[in-house]
Structures are given as structure tokens and as C-alpha cells.
């Protein structure tokens, strides 16, 4: 009789500590969808690249190759932006739905903290990547985006479900590996933003979403 | 029997237990945030917060954000130590 009350107290303490410090309504399913968008984006970028290589071959005098290159970068940028916006929108929508289902508030101190701490490294990475483009170091853009995204996840993981930490570490590792394989950035992107999101998203979906 | 004495009467209520749990892992929390998390009414939360304040386990800081009054709570070192002792005692009792 007494010990039942103590057990209740302990679980109440744990529940309150977790609830008040972490945003736990993060949707795993939205991670899976973000991964799928990234794979579609990578496939579109790959196709664009093939097109450009084909054009480049026919262009014997090679005068327009610089223009083609900036054209390609611009297209890639648009695809990447599309993928990011779609992924963020899906994440917000599905997390809001999950929060509503368990009777939690979507926009409170813990989700605010999560967003701020996620976006600080991400913003730094975005600015840094633009600087790389300015300096014509295109080859380092893929590694830089993966590493900074990984750091953003690692930082955010303290304020949400702990699994996000491993998504972050995985992305940091392949970001570093990709520095040794310049020119294959698209494949590393597909792995980091596509496959890893699907894997960890599914893991989180089965662990937390289906309650 | 000595373990029982470590069970702190001040934390022997769901709301007070909740307030302390939240303030253990957050630097501070304002009144509305506590209310939201604990699902308590204004009066209920205020009286339990007052009880903890009297024990010097939490401190209250009143300020204005714009024109709105805002009440911020945080745990004192004394409160944190007392709550830690309380948790340890609970865990020991459960192990028996």
C-alpha cells in the first residue's frame, strides 16, 4: 500500500522532469518523410547533372561551361531549398498532430528551446556553406552541410528525444568521410539526409509514435 | 526506520512534488508554465508554491514583461539538496 504511493511519486518525478525539459512530441514519421524528400531531391539533382554533362560534351568549344556550372549550382540550390522547406513543414505539421493527440502543447518553452538550439549550428553551417560557394569551393559544400547538420542534431538532442543524438553523430561521421571523396557529395547527401533520416525516423516512429 | 525520517513531508503532495521536479531540471519556470505542466488551478498552484517558499526551497521573483506581471520560480540550493534526499529515500524504500 505504502510502496505503491512511493512508486507513483517516483514515476511522477521522472515524468515531470522529462516533460518540462524536453519536447517529446517530435514525430518520427516526419523524419521518414524528410528522408524520402531528400532522396527524391538527390535523384532530381543527379538527373540535372547528367543533363548538363550531356550538354557539355556537345559543346566542343567549351565556352559556356562556366555558365552551365553556375546554372547547375543554382538548380541544386533550388532543389535543396524545396526539400528543406517541405521537410520542416512536414515536421511541424506531424509533431503538432502528435502533441494534440497526447494533449500536449506544441509551442511551449521546451519546443522553443529545441528550435533555438537546433538552428544556431544550422544557421552557422548555412552561412559557412554560402561562403564556400563564394570562394568556389563547391566540393566542400556537401561535407560542410552534413557536418553542421549533424552538430545541429547533436545540440538539439538535449531538448528532445535522445535518438536525435545518434542521427547527429552519424551525419558528422559521414560528413568527415565525405571530405576525402570530393565530387561524390550528392551520394553522401542522399545517405545522410535520405537514408539516415528514414532509418532513425522509423526507429523513433516504432518507439514513440505508436502509443 | 531511519530511512522514513528522510521522507520529506514538504514534498508529500503531487503538486509540490511536481513543482520541485520541474525546478530541478530547469533554471526557472514561470507561473503559467508550471500551471500548464501540472494541470493545476491558479489557487491550488499558488498555495503549494507558497508552502515551498516558506521552507526556503524555492524563490519567487516578480517582474513585469511589458505591462503583464510575471512570476518566476526557481529552486534554491537548499531545496535541491532536500529534494535529492527525498528522492533517494523514496528509492531506498522501494528497494526494500
Per mean pLDDT, which range of A84-93, A150-159, A180-189, B63-72 is the poorest?
Answer: B63-72
Instruction: Give per-residue pLDDT as tens, A123-171.
Output: 999 999 999 989 988 899 999 999 999 999 999 999 999 899 999 999 9
| Domain residue limits, chain A | 27-209
Domain assignment present for B21: no
Mapping DSSP to helix (H, G, I), strand (E, B) and coil, where does residue A54 land? helix
CB proximity B74 to A under 8 Å: no
CB contact under 8 A, A12 and B22: no
Kindly report the nearest CA distance between residue A106 and chain B, in angstroms: 12
User: Is B1 within the bounds of a domain?
Assistant: no
Q: What is the mean pLDDT of residues B76-89?
A: 94
In which domain, by residue range, is B86 found? Answer: 28-91
Q: Is residue B22 part of a domain?
A: no
B47 domain-assigned: yes
Picking from A8, A20, A111, A11, the residue whose alpha carbon sits closest to that of residue B22 is A20
Q: Does A106 touch chain B (CB under 8 A)?
A: no
Q: Is residue B4 part of a domain?
A: no
Question: To which residue does cell 552538430 refer?
Answer: A151
Say how many domains are in chain B. 1
Among candidates A10, A17, A105 on the partner chain, residue whose Cβ is nearest the Cβ of B90: A10
Number of H helices, E strands in chain A: 8, 0
Name the DSSP letter for residue A160.
B
- Residues B11-26: what's their mean pLDDT? 93
Position A65 pLDDT exceeds 60: no
User: Residue A86 has which C-alpha cell?
Assistant: 517541405
pLDDT, chain B, mean: 90
Q: Is the pLDDT of residue B1 over 50?
A: no
- Choosing among B25, B73, B75, which should be mutated to test the A contact, i.e. which has the most A CBs within 10 A? B25
Residue B7 lies in a domain: no
Write down the H helix ranges in B1-96. 2-6, 14-25, 31-38, 42-54, 77-95
pTM of the predicted model, to two decimals? 0.82
pLDDT over 70 (residue A57): no
| Average pLDDT rounded to a whole number, residues B14-40 | 93
The reply to whether B5 falls in a domain is no
> Looking at the domain assignment, is residue B6 inside a domain?
no
CA distance B88 to chain A (A): 10
Tens digits of per-residue pLDDT, B2-12? 556 677 888 98
Q: What is the CATH number of the domain that holds B51?
A: 1.10.10.10
The pLDDT score that the predictor gives to residue A77 is: 86
| Contact residues, chain B, for A14 at CB < 8 Å | 21
Q: From residue A164, how far is each of A14, A160, A169, A202 by CA, in Å?
A: 20, 8, 9, 12
Amino acid at each position: 500500500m505504502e510502496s505503491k504511493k512511493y512508486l507513483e511519486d517516483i514515476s511522477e518525478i521522472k515524468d515531470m522532469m522529462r516533460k518540462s525539459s524536453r519536447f517529446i512530441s517530435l514525430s518520427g514519421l516526419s523524419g521518414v518523410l524528410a528522408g524520402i524528400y531528400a532522396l527524391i531531391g538527390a535523384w532530381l539533382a543527379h538527373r540535372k547533372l547528367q543533363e548538363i554533362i550531356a550538354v557539355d560534351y556537345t559543346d566542343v568549344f567549351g565556352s559556356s561551361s562556366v555558365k552551365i556550372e553556375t546554372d547547375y549550382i543554382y538548380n541544386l540550390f533550388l532543389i535543396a531549398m524545396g526539400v528543406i522547406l517541405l521537410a520542416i513543414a512536414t515536421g511541424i505539421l506531424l509533431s503538432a498532430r502528435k502533441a494534440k493527440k497526447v494533449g500536449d502543447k506544441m509551442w511551449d518553452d521546451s519546443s522553443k528551446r529545441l528550435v533555438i538550439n537546433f538552428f544556431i549550428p544550422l544557421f552557422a553551417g548555412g552561412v559557412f556553406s554560402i561562403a564556400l560557394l563564394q570562394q568556389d569551393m563547391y566540393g566542400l559544400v556537401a561535407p560542410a552541410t552534413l557536418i553542421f547538420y549533424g552538430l545541429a542534431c547533436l545540440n538539439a538532442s538535449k531538448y528532445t528525444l535522445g535518438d536525435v543524438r545518434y542521427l547527429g553523430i552519424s551525419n558528422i561521421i559521414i560528413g568527415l568521410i565525405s571530405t576525402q571523396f570530393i565530387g561524390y557529395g550528392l551520394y553522401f547527401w542522399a545517405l545522410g539526409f535520405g537514408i539516415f533520416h528514414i532509418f532513425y525516423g522509423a526507429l523513433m516512429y516504432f518507439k514513440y509514435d505508436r502509443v | 526506520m531511519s530511512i522514513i525520517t528522510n521522507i520529506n513531508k514538504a514534498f508529500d503532495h503531487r503538486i509540490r512534488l511536481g513543482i520541485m521536479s520541474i525546478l530541478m531540471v530547469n533554471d526557472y519556470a514561470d507561473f503559467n508554465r508550471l500551471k500548464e505542466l501540472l494541470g493545476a488551478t491558479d489557487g491550488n498552484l499558488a498555495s503549494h508554491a507558497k508552502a515551498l517558499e516558506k521552507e526556503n526551497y524555492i524563490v519567487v521573483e516578480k517582474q513585469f514583461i511589458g505591462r503583464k506581471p510575471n512570476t518566476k520560480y526557481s529552486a534554491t540550493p537548499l531545496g535541491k539538496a532536500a529534494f535529492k534526499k527525498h528522492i533517494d529515500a523514496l528509492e531506498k524504500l522501494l528497494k526494500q
